[in-house]
A = this chain, B = another copy of it.
């Protein structure tokens, strides 16, 4: 039999990979943030057939540098300001190393007691860090997309219509189902509703106020109108930290509506929940203690490598009723909690390790300091934008994400969408910062989301300087199109 990679192989290869990673963590900013390769380039640089014989790790690491790295958009770069920042931190990488080596599958308690129980412990730590007053059932899921789908499935089953057994199609006893969320909610809510067979028409998007927060009065009006029209309301999905502007839906008032109408309240705090670990920010989660389910993504703003979604619910029995199926080959006699019963996936990695290592190696004080620092930088940037006549701020800044728009003199209003999009591509093309966009009140708007562990003031100010410089240059050529040639 051929030789197989073993402990010694690992020791040698990991030695060089550890050095590589240590250097990367300290010097990720020496790479261009946004990959600058043509589509197909990476693929064309790799063999189209697998090797028959073992290759030394050194060759692979060479290929990482030669082929992979030029095609990497560096989410781990301190000037990554697009979408929401995430961090592959040192403790998080250590957690993933150990998780991969142990390679546990936490489907049942007995298939790994430590996995199930550490998951319970670290989720309870996180709950306390965020200031949730009383214990909650917690489970680690892979993504907010899946966790919100599970929440909606639990809410659907809690209607008591036995959809689990009988399904939804072809039933004359079922009305059409509606879930409610704001027009600023994440696309995963609609995707989950599509998967569940609720459909896009089953997602009613409630308008928001001038700060992009769901209007509870319009939510209640919609529920009443739908009930009168024969729809069956299922649940409300509110957001703490929406994707475009990080607005915070008024959870207490929404919870009141849910209470009055007997609706499951699910809160997507994927991004915003992290801020609550800072005591003075606790109020961002006000009212969430009344929610039926809440999710927070430590893989977003809490320095845990992707993927890790913390899902909490006051109604674990409803979650289990929606999903539990125990075939004979998975039957156990003990009375323990088997986490496979509370979600879609049977296979469950040992994700708790990475949050455990992050919290222990940082300590909560440092984690709070980093979040505080991000929020302070965002406020500084917001003030700078407010003070600059060539830019306008497009939304309040409750967390660490700033929405802005260039409004240079001399560029016609009807050109501003295209101007800002070109501006974004120019800044991103420098490789020195990476921002993304959204659309607010139908206007194209740029976003600077500060959320990477290693982002310092200088990175934010450099991004701001890039924006101002490129806006000036672009505006100049915009005003004299024949000379500049851009528009």
- Knowing A42-B114, A329-B83, A344-B146, say if A19 contacts B26 (CB, 8 Å): no
Is B14 touching A18 in the complex (CB atoms < 8 A)?
Answer: yes
Q: How far is the CA of A77 from the CA of B226 in the complex (A)?
A: 56
- Knowing A174-B169, A346-B188, say if A52 contacts B94 (CB, 8 Å): no
Q: How far is the CA of A199 from the CA of B161 in the complex (A)?
A: 11
Partner pick for A114 among B67, B103, B359, CB 8 A cutoff: B67
List 7 extra interface pairs beyond A9-B361, A35-B113, CB under 8 A: A14-B14, A46-B117, A48-B121, A57-B361, A76-B102, A96-B99, A103-B305
The answer, yes or no, to whether A464 is at the interface (CB within 8 Å) is: no
Partner pick for A94 among B57, B165, B195, B438, CB 8 A cutoff: B57
Partner pick for A109 among B39, B72, B356, CB 8 A cutoff: B39
Partner pick for A347 among B50, B59, B174, B306, CB 8 A cutoff: B306
5 closest A-B pairs (Cβ-Cβ)?
A167-B199, A88-B103, A197-B197, A71-B114, A170-B176
Is A322 touching B194 in the complex (CB atoms < 8 A)?
Answer: yes
Is A346 touching B52 in the complex (CB atoms < 8 A)?
Answer: no
Q: How far is the CA of A74 from the CA of B100 in the complex (A)?
A: 12
Is A10 touching B201 in the complex (CB atoms < 8 A)?
Answer: no
The answer, yes or no, to whether A307 is at the interface (CB within 8 Å) is: yes
B-contact 0/1 string along A1-20, CB 8 Å cutoff:
11111111111011101111
Is A366 touching B199 in the complex (CB atoms < 8 A)?
Answer: no
Residues of B within 8 Å of A117, CB to CB, are: 40-43, 46, 71
Is A86 touching B57 in the complex (CB atoms < 8 A)?
Answer: no
B-contact 0/1 string along A141-165, CB 8 Å cutoff:
0111110010001001000000111
Partner pick for A363 among B7, B52, B322, CB 8 A cutoff: B52
Q: How far is the CA of A456 from the CA of B70 in the complex (A)?
A: 42
Is B362 touching A24 in the complex (CB atoms < 8 A)?
Answer: no
A24 CB to closest chain B CB, in angstroms? 6
The answer, yes or no, to whether A125 is at the interface (CB within 8 Å) is: yes
- Number of residues on chain A facing chain B (CB within 8 A): 177
Look across to chain B and name the residue whose beta carbon is closest to the beta carbon of A444: B328
Q: How far is the CA of A64 from the CA of B46 in the complex (A)?
A: 39
Assembly stoichiometry (copies) = 2
Look across to chain B and name the residue whose beta carbon is closest to the beta carbon of A54: B363
Is A71 touching B187 in the complex (CB atoms < 8 A)?
Answer: no
The answer, yes or no, to whether A211 is at the interface (CB within 8 Å) is: no
Look across to chain B and name the residue whose beta carbon is closest to the beta carbon of A21: B101
A195-236 interface with B by 8 A CB criterion: 195-202, 230-232
Is B4 touching A362 in the complex (CB atoms < 8 A)?
Answer: yes
Residues of B within 8 Å of A97, CB to CB, are: 14, 17-18, 21, 93, 96-97, 100
Partner pick for A15 among B18, B193, B305, CB 8 A cutoff: B18
Look across to chain B and name the residue whose beta carbon is closest to the beta carbon of A162: B199
Is A128 touching B50 in the complex (CB atoms < 8 A)?
Answer: yes
Q: How far is the CA of A364 from the CA of B52 in the complex (A)?
A: 5
Look across to chain B and name the residue whose beta carbon is closest to the beta carbon of A365: B52
The answer, yes or no, to whether A37 is at the interface (CB within 8 Å) is: yes
- Knowing A51-B360, A175-B170, A199-B166, say if A325 contacts B437 (CB, 8 Å): no
Is B191 touching A325 in the complex (CB atoms < 8 A)?
Answer: yes
- Knowing A10-B90, A329-B244, say if A114 contacts B69 (CB, 8 Å): yes
Is A4 touching B453 in the complex (CB atoms < 8 A)?
Answer: yes
A70 CB to closest chain B CB, in angstroms? 8
